[in-house]
Structures are given as C-alpha cells and as structure tokens.
Amino acid sequence: MQTEPGAPPQRPYVLLSCAMSIDGCLDAPGPQRLILSGDADLDRVDAERAEADAIMVGAATIRRDNPRLLIRSAARRAVRIARDLPEHPARVTLTASGDLDPGAQFFATDGAGAVVYCAAPQAPQLQLRLNELAQVIAVPPPVELVAILADLSRRGVRRLLVEGGARLGREFLAAGLVDELALAIAPFFVGAAGAPRFAGPAVYPHGPGWPMHLAEVRRLDEVVLLRYLLGGDGPARGETWARPDRGDRATEADGARGPQDPGDRDPGAGAIRGGP
C-alpha cells in the first residue's frame, strides 16, 4: 500500500542503476576499468543524478573507481539551485572496516556533502581521520540497509540513486528494497570468468511467480536501456513505495548507470547485510 499523504516515508524511493555487457558483466577483471556506455547514456545518468536527493555507492567502489558523483550539466545544476536544492546531491556510502581515503573525490566539498555509515567500533577513528570532510554515522554491526534507508528518510532523502557496485546492488535487490531498476546493456561480451556480474546468486523476491514490470525500452546510441518497476507486495518487502512526484521532469526516470565495481563493500566485510 502507499504511504498516507503527508506522512514521512519509511524509506526513500530507490533507483538501482548499472551498466553491463551482453553476458552480464559489470566490469572486466584486473585494474583497468571497463567502459560500458557512451555519451548518450552518460547524459541520461546525469539527468538521474540531478533528480536524486542522494547517491549511494559501496566503499569498494570508492577505493577502486574514485567516483566524483557530481552533476556535469551546468543547466541541471542551475535548475536544482533554482529549486532551493544543493547544487549536487548528497553522497552516501557504508563501510564495515572504515578503510576510506580522505583524499578520495567522494569527499569533495561540493553540494550536499558526504555521509558515511560505519560500523560502530571503527566510526570514531574514521570520523577523526575524515575530520569535516564527511558526517560519519556509527551503526551497530551488522550494518543493515533497512536501518540506513530509514535514517536517510529521516534526513530528508526522498529519492536515492544507487550506482554501484555488484554486491551492493545484489543486496538491495535480494532484500526487496528497489523500486526501479535501470539496466544499460552494452553491445559486446566480456567472457572472463573472474569478471563481476550483475545479480549474483541470491534469493530474490522477483522470481518467475512475481516478475518485474518492464516500463521502458530505449536505444541510446548502441546501448539498450531496460527500465523495470518492482512495485507490489512481496515476500521481502512489506509495502509498495510511492514514487516521489517530480513535476519538473520532462520524462519518467530512466535509471542511471553507476560505477562498475567487483564488489561494493569492504572485502571480507561479512557483517554487512541487506535485509532484516
């Protein structure tokens, strides 16, 4: 059911986005980052960032890809400022180990700033290391996505864009915490056994008996965008969440491609899990 009008949502509307090869790879093995989309898809991603209140990536994505997570278009930034919003959405990550470099672009001072959800034992030391670069929020292990989303909602985040990488996306999907899924499919194969793949083994609520709704198919140069809606009651989510009203959008949300990463969390951070 939909939340009552005027009632604060229990969690933000979640758009999960990724780009993958024909054979489902999110990246190639090795240190070289694989480029999976072109200019048209990157512009679509920029539009999705402009509509988000916050963008989330895993700590491993920050270490591997060093993403900026900023809006490129000056016109889109100007629209946000005119709407009395920060120039860039807040940047959010979560970590069990606290292994984050203060020099990462994630901690740039642009826009709404950075928020780090960190396992409580490591949080004080991480806050000391980051100083004023980010707000570090201590959470008792295991760090659960449900609790993080509830806290983001209390902080005014109504629309969350999840951009990477493989493990974080899998946990969001398996926990039934995704409202919209955007898959950008590149026109080639990777074929490497060690490449990280989209939606690895897990128990997903959207199986054959409860399929997702295909809302859009769009060609972006040689990339194909598939946009799915995951609404409706299901075993892993208690409610269907209302999509925030975005009256200033020219079109419906299409999703956004995030950084490709073989894992979203700290390697070996088994204390972090998705659902209740």
End-to-end CA gap in the chain: 20
Q: Give the pLDDT of residue 143.
A: 87
pLDDT digits (tens, 9 = 90+) for 212-222: 999 999 999 99
Out of 88-102, 103-117, 152-166, 227-241, least confident range: 227-241
Measured CA angle at 71 (ends 67, 72), to 5 deg: 95
pLDDT digits (tens, 9 = 90+) for 26-61: 999 988 889 999 999 999 999 999 999 999 999 999
Does pLDDT of 118 surpass 80? yes
For the chain, helix (H) and strand (E) counts, in that order, are 6, 9
Q: Give the pLDDT of residue 275.
A: 43
Q: What is the mean pLDDT of residues 205-227?
A: 97
Q: How far from chain centre, in Å, is Cα 88?
A: 15
Q: What is the mean pLDDT of residues 130-141?
A: 95
pTM above 0.85, yes or no: no
What's the half-sphere exposure (Cβ side, CA atoms, 13 Å) at 201? 0
pLDDT digits (tens, 9 = 90+) for 228-258: 999 754 333 333 333 444 444 333 333 333 3
19 forms bridges with which residues in the sheet?
A: 184
Q: Give the pLDDT of residue 242.
A: 39
Out of 140-144, 145-149, 186-190, least confident range: 140-144
Does pLDDT of 205 surpass 60? yes
Q: Give the pLDDT of residue 164.
A: 84
Confidence of residue 9 (pLDDT cuts 50, 70, 90): low
Identify which has the larger pLDDT, 115 or 267. Answer: 115
Mean pLDDT of the chain: 84
d(CA 214, CA 212): 6
Contact residues for 209 (Cβ-Cβ < 8 A; gap 6+): none
DSSP 17: E
Query: Closest by alpha carbon to 168, among 241, 27, 274?
Result: 274
Query: Closest by alpha carbon to 256, among 37, 28, 35, 23?
Result: 37
114 forms bridges with which residues in the sheet?
A: 91
